[in-house]
Structure 1
Amino acid sequence: MTQNPVIFIDGEAGTTGLEIRQRLVDLPVQLHTIDPAHRKDPAARKEAMLAAELVVLCLPDAASREAAEMMAEEGAGAPRLLDASSAFRTASDWVYGLPELTPGQTQKIASAQRVSNPGCYPTGAIALLRPLIDAGVLDAHYPVSINAVSGYSGGGRAMIEAHEQEGGPAFELYGLGLEHKHVPEIHLHAGLKRRPVFVPSVGHFPRGMIVSVPLHLDDLKGHVTTEDLHSALMAHYAGQDKIKVLPAEGSLSASALAGNDGMELRVHGSTHSRQAVLTARLDNLGKGASGAALQNIALMLGL
C-alpha cells in the first residue's frame, strides 16, 4: 500500500496554520509535527521540513523567505513548498496558486516545486478583472479602483483583540497611504498595465469579505454592457466548482460565506447611467486563505 504523503506546517500555531491543520485531518495525508518548544529552533524546523514531501509555510514574509532559502540549499532533496505569506506572490520562479486564473494554471500548480498561495483581497480582485482583460472587454490600461471590506480575523492578533473587546471599532479604513502589500500582486496577476487604487477596510464581524470594482461602461472599448461583463465571467468560470458567477443583487452581506470555501462573482449595474460594479464575495479565511491552501495541497499531491 502506498504511504500517505507527509505534510509539515511551519507556523501551524497561527490563524491560517491552525485552520489548515484542522482541515487536513480528514484527508489521506500524514501530518508531521515538532515539539512547540522547538518551533523557532532552525535546526528542528529544518529537520521537520526535510521529513515532509510538502511543507506549508504559514509564517511572516521574512521568515518565509528564510525557510525557502534554507530548503533551496538542499537542492534536489528539498520538499515542495506552499507559501501562505505574501513573500513570493510576484516571484517569477514561484507558481501563483489561483487554479482558476487561466486554463493551464491548475496543471502548473500540480507540477510546481514552489507555489505561492494568493492573498484574500487579491483573490477577489483578480478573479473579477483577469477574465475581463483576457476577453478584451476591459482594457488593461483602465484606471481600476478596488474597494474591499473584510472580517477582522485576517488582521492578526492585535486587530482580533481590538474587535473582540467591548466597544471594538465598527468599521475601519486602512492602507490609506495606497502602498498596501497586496497591490503588486493584484497589478501583476490581474494583467493590469496601470497600477490600481486599492482601499481596504475592516468591519466588526469575524469572517467574510466583499471586493468591489466600479466601472464606467462608456470608458470601455466598444458599447460594452453589464451583460457582456457577466457573459465573459460566465465563460471563464464554466465548470468551476469553487467560483460561481451569479445574478446581480440589490445588497450583499459580507459575512454570508463565512466557513465556505467558495466565491461568488456578480456584475451589478445601471443601464441608464452606464455604470457597473463588479463584486466578489468570499470568506477571507476560506477561499481567501486556508481553503485556497487546501485546494493547492490537493493539486500538488494529486489528492
Structure 2
Amino acid sequence: MADATTSGAQARVFIDGEAGTTGLEIRERLAAEPAVTVASIAHDKRKDAEARQALMADVDLVVLCLPDEAAVEAVALADGLGNRAPRIVDASTAHRVADGWAYGFPELDANQSEAIRKARRVANPGCYPTGAIALVRPLVDAGLLPADHPVTVNAVSGYSGGGRQMIEAYEIGKTAPAFELYGLGLAHKHVPELQRYGRLTRRPMFVPSVGNFRQGMLVSLPVHLNALPGSPSPADVERALADHYRSADLVRVVSNDERVSLGGRLDALALNGTDNLEIFVFPDADGRQALLVARLDNLGKGAAGAAVQNIRLMLGL
C-alpha cells in the first residue's frame, strides 16, 4: 500500500498486539489523531499469520506490541510482502540495536528526527534507556563525560512496565513486594541500547527496580564531577543538557529555581498521563558531585507516547 503521506489519504495503522498495556495506550493516543485510522484484526485471528499479513498489506504502518520472538516473526511476515510491506514501529526489544533500524528517540541528536521521518523501520526505545540516554548522551557529545567513563544508572519504575504477569501480581494476586531490585546479574536486556546510543565504549552498570505504583519513573545517574576531565561544574553539566534539548518539545531541563522549590524530594508520579520527560541536576554543596535525574511516565515517553511521537514523524502528521 502507498504511504498515506505521499498519497494524501487517511493513514491506516495496525497495532499488532493491541490488547496489551502498550498497545492499548497507543490506540488511545491514536484515537486523538484525526488523520489516522486504526485497523484491527478479529479477536480469533490475532495469531493467524495469514490474516495478519493480509492486514499488513492494507495499512501504511504497523506497530508491534509483541514479545521479542513474536516481533521477529511479525517482521518476517512484513518482509514477505516485498514492496507492499508497511513501515514498522517495533515496541519490543528485538530490533533496538539491529542494523537497518532507526532508534526511535527523536531527541537523541539534531539529526535523529529526520532519520526517523525517513526510516522504514523504527525501534521504539525502552523506558529505562529513554531516561538514561537522555542524561548520558548530551554529556558525551559535549565532551564532559568520556565515552569510557564507568557509568552507573539506577532507576525505579511503576509495575505497569513489567507486563501482564507483574501487573496481575500487584493488582490481582497482591503477591508482589512493595519494592524490589531486579536484573542483579548486571546484564539487563536494556544495557546494549544504553551503551550504543549513549555512545559509551565501556559497558555501563544498570540497576532497575520496581515499586508498588502503577506508572511513573525516575532514572538517576550519579556523577563525581571532580573525577571527570576538567572537573566540570554543575552549571557546566546543566548548560550542556539545556543546549542539547533547547529545541525539544517533550524534553526539558528543569531550572535551578524549580529544582530548589522541590525541597530535596522528587515524586516519581508527577508526569503520569503525559508524554513529557524532565531532567534535573542536583549538586552537592561544593559542586564536586551531582545527581542527574530523568523523570517520565514509563507508559508515556517511556513507551506509548514515544511510539506515537515516532508514528507522527513517519506519517508526516
**Distance (whole Å) between structure 1 residues aligned to residue 296 and residue 275 of structure 2:** 7
| Corresponding position of 1:216 | 224
| Corresponding position of 2:202 | 194
TM-score, normalised to structure 2's length? 0.93
**Distance (whole Å) between structure 2 residues aligned to residue 75 and residue 108 of structure 1:** 22
Deviations 1:197-253 (A, max 9, x none): 000000010010000010111111102111100000000000211001003351101
Q: CA deviation at 1:125?
A: 0.2
Q: Does 2:40 correspond to 1:33?
A: yes
TM-score, normalised to structure 1's length? 0.97
Which amino acid counterpart does residue 56 of structure 1 have in structure 2? Answer: V
Instruction: Identify if the C-alpha distance between structure 1 residues 216 and 46 changes in structure 2 by more than 3 Å, giving closer, same or farther.
Output: same
Contact 2:108-2:134 within 8 A present in 1 as well: yes
| Corresponding position of 1:24 | 30
Q: CA deviation at 1:273?
A: 6.4
**Distance (whole Å) between structure 1 residues aligned to residue 60 and residue 84 of structure 2:** 10
Q: CA deviation at 1:167?
A: 6.2
Q: Report the number of matched residues.
A: 303
Q: CA deviation at 1:71?
A: 1.3
Contact 1:162-1:169 within 8 A present in 2 as well: no
Deviations 1:80-104 (A, max 9, x none): 0110001000012100000000101
| Corresponding position of 1:253 | 267
Which amino acid counterpart does residue 97 of structure 2 have in structure 1? Answer: T
**Distance (whole Å) between structure 1 residues aligned to residue 174 and residue 86 of structure 2:** 45
**Distance (whole Å) between structure 2 residues aligned to residue 183 and residue 168 of structure 1:** 25
**Distance (whole Å) between structure 2 residues aligned to residue 184 and residue 239 of structure 1:** 27
Deviations 1:47-95 (A, max 9, x none): 1111111011111001111111221232222110110001000012100
Q: Does 2:301 correspond to 1:287?
A: yes
State the superposition RMSD in angstroms: 1.2
After superposition, residues 1-303 of structure 1 pair within 5 angstroms as 2-27=8-33, 28-164=35-171, 165-166=173-174, 168-246=176-254, 247=256, 248=259, 249=262, 250-272=264-286, 274-303=288-317
**Distance (whole Å) between structure 2 residues aligned to residue 171 and residue 83 of structure 1:** 29
Q: CA deviation at 1:166?
A: 4.1
**Distance (whole Å) between structure 2 residues aligned to residue 285 and residue 271 of structure 1:** 35
Contact 1:7-1:31 within 8 A present in 2 as well: yes
**Distance (whole Å) between structure 1 residues aligned to residue 286 and residue 170 of structure 2:** 41
**Distance (whole Å) between structure 2 residues aligned to residue 128 and residue 21 of structure 1:** 29
Deviations 1:168-199 (A, max 9, x none): 41101000011110000100000001000000
User: Helix, strand or coil for the counterpart of 2:231?
Assistant: coil
Greater Cα offset, 249-258 or 259-268? 249-258
Amino-acid identity (%):
56
Deviations 1:247-295 (A, max 9, x none): 3351101111111100000111114261111100000000000000010
**Distance (whole Å) between structure 1 residues aligned to residue 278 and residue 159 of structure 2:** 20
**Distance (whole Å) between structure 1 residues aligned to residue 81 and residue 55 of structure 2:** 13
Contact 2:49-2:77 within 8 A present in 1 as well: no
Contact 2:233-2:287 within 8 A present in 1 as well: no
Contact 2:234-2:287 within 8 A present in 1 as well: no
Which amino acid counterpart does residue 261 of structure 1 have in structure 2? Answer: D
**Distance (whole Å) between structure 2 residues aligned to residue 131 and residue 26 of structure 1:** 32
- Unaligned segments of structure 2, at least 5 residues: 1-6
User: Helix, strand or coil for the counterpart of 2:50?
Assistant: helix
